[in-house]
Amino acid sequence: MDNNERFALSMADFACRVYISGVMKNQNQDSAFPSLHLVDLKPYVSVVLLECTDDEPARAFETLRRFLRKNAGDPGRADGIRVRAEIVSRADEVLDEVGRMDEFGVDEIHSLVREVTRVPEWAERDAGFVDVVHQMSVAVRRDRLVAVYSGFTSDAKFSRWIHREAAPYRFVPADLLAGVFRGDGRMLWVRGVHRRRTTKSDSKALGGLRLQDALDAIEDSTYAMTAAKVTYLPGNQNAVLRDVVTVSPGASRISWKRTSHFPMFAAAVGEVLDVVEKALASGEEPEPQFSELAVPESDLGRVRGAFEALVAEPDLVGGDPESVEESDERAEFLRSAIIAVRGEPTSAKAYLDVGRDGAVTGTLVVRPAESAGRVCLDVGYCGTPTAEAFTREVKEVIAEGDLLTVYYESGHLFNGSQVVRQKPISKPFPNLEFADFSGYSITKEKPVRRDGLRLHDAISTDGDDSLFAWGVQRFGSDWLLCDDGAGEVADYLHLTDDGTLTAIHVKAAANAGPGRRIAVTPFEEVVSQAEKNVRLLGTENLEERLGRPRASRAAAWHAGQRSTSAEFAQQLAARVATDRTRVVIVQPHLLRASHDQARADVVAGRVTRDTLSLALLDNLLHSTRRTVTAFWDDLTVIGCA
């Protein structure tokens, strides 16, 4: 029987008789207030896990105790606080009638109780109503690891203490914590890595019997886990911690349930520390439980092109929501303060214009950086703020790192504790064609209009070498209508004699270089447009649209000759419900030679910049195809031969 098992069983046997003979420190204690005995406590198992970075774990634990005392004395928005009791018990002390603490695998325990008085939210201050709440913290140390439950020290305060005050601790690595408590996934909270668009959610919460089997390798590879509930089954049948356990890797937190007595809490926490200690000692990174999700990025040098920064909702999954008001208040402040985001195409730097009421008060430079076992945001000034106090306050809230989510063109996401990237799963997109664009400028989407000529009149005339002209050459032998303009359904609508309707979306290449690399960015806008408008391709909707005055002036062709939108509408009206509807995306930035080389490298197991980009592109097109086929027949993508 190991130390942890003996601790759990012995403490359970003597629970009714245990009295902690530690050091009792009562501050401002009323004589009527009861003495604090650990045996009388039954904390909720929701603990932040810390690893000591100091050579002396006992000395570091004293620093932690001072930090917790300081937080206990911080009133926040309360009207008054009193620290009512404090216990410190060390390994060389004796648990009454049980024995020395170090025989049970615990080196130190520290607990605080404070009394908080405040006016209820629903009452005016002078109404005479006062809430009295007692809050507790318990810290348990085993060698270099510490678990802390606290009703008054938020995750943001722990983060600020560790990252900004040189605390002698670091958080347990998120990827390790996400993999060591294994079991069937029952609930899963994820946040998207992909560029935001209306057809794909920013975040999701999933529930089921075993979510590992419910995830899709393509669709869900653009999401990263923030928390998960798993049915944890320990190897030791006598273990206390089992069944549904919540893992929040970004917060370095493990949550279980409220315990019925303190020995149960101590046993469960001891088992948590034992599992983490063994995982750290092995030096091996555990396999991810949800392998289809985005993966942590090990090389921050790959992160580039910040394009959006969002304030996430405070994450209280599985935790004690004592600090919900504070977190919501900070989130609302940050939402109102960020005005604009700019990134650098070659680095992970993001420039945030911040201010209030639409007026910029300063610019901050934000960059992800390694710190204390986590990726945190390094925040500095760019130039001199015009309102230094306000800008500094924004800077400090951002630096806490738990609220700001930053999206990058490179397919990465900073989510408060780590940088993740979409998992590079390269499943070939099946409907990919490569066409000849000889004689046309693939970087010119629409014709140049001269002498006030309307765009629709300029298409495929007077030497037009745009992609719109290529569209007429490729599809004009059937019925073709240009729908370009405000509120368009597609750039072109194509109709064959057998009733097949095709919506064609055209986008110019980013460059025409013969050695251009695979890139996802040139596809993102045209893919978003195709997904957004896919619901508008019903015959009834199109007939109503073509009946409007603007549509009567739209360019149309039939059998290679100019026609009218009225004739196209007449053919459209002849369609029946069984006729096929398709979507085509034309993006000649994708070069066949680059694509084929990258695909060959994937097959050979070589990892290159283009294989990673190809995986992202494959996944993007698969996702778009699923959106299309939810309504219509299929999607085809045309690149450059």
Concatenated DSSP letters of 405-439: EEEETTSEEE-SS-EEE--------SSEEEE--TT
Within 8 A by CB and 6+ apart from 636, the residues are 431, 432, 433, 582, 583, 584, 585
Q: What is the C-alpha separation between 231 and 247, in angstroms, rounded?
A: 11
Q: Which run of H or of E encompasses 349? A: none
pLDDT for the residue 393: 93
Q: Which of 167, 159, 179 minimizes the C-alpha distance to 278? A: 179
Q: Are 501 and 580 in contact (CB under 8 A)?
A: yes
Q: Are 260 and 245 in contact (CB under 8 A)?
A: no
Q: What is the C-alpha separation between 516 and 510, in angstroms, rounded?
A: 9
Q: Which run of H or of E encompasses 119? A: none
Q: What is the C-alpha separation between 550 and 485, in angstroms, rounded?
A: 9
pLDDT for the residue 373: 67
Angle value at C-alpha 216, between 211 and 219, nearest 5 degrees: 125
64 to 47, 116, 641: CA distances (angstroms) = 14, 22, 64
Q: What is the C-alpha separation between 215 and 270, in angstroms, rounded?
A: 33
Q: Structural domain boundaries of the chain?
A: 3-295, 297-421, 432-640
**What backbone torsions phi and psi does residue 132 show, to the nearest 5 degrees?**
-120, 120
pLDDT for the residue 216: 85
CA 73 to chain CA mean position, Å? 34
Per the rule left: phi > 0, alpha: psi between -120 and 50, beta: everything else, 190 is: beta
pLDDT for the residue 33: 58
Task: Specify which residues 368 forms β-bridges with.
Answer: 377
Tell me the average confidence (pLDDT) per consecutive run of 10 residues in the chain, 641 residues long: 46 34 38 68 93 95 96 89 88 56 75 93 91 94 95 88 88 91 96 78 93 88 92 92 94 93 88 95 90 86 87 56 65 87 91 91 93 82 94 90 82 83 80 96 90 85 93 94 88 95 95 90 90 90 79 86 91 92 97 95 86 86 92 96 95
| Two tokens, residue 615 | 């995986």
- HSE of 496, CA atoms in CB hemisphere, 13 A: 9
pTM of the model: 0.68
pLDDT for the residue 12: 37
286 to 173, 174, 249, 447, 616: CA distances (angstroms) = 11, 11, 13, 55, 25
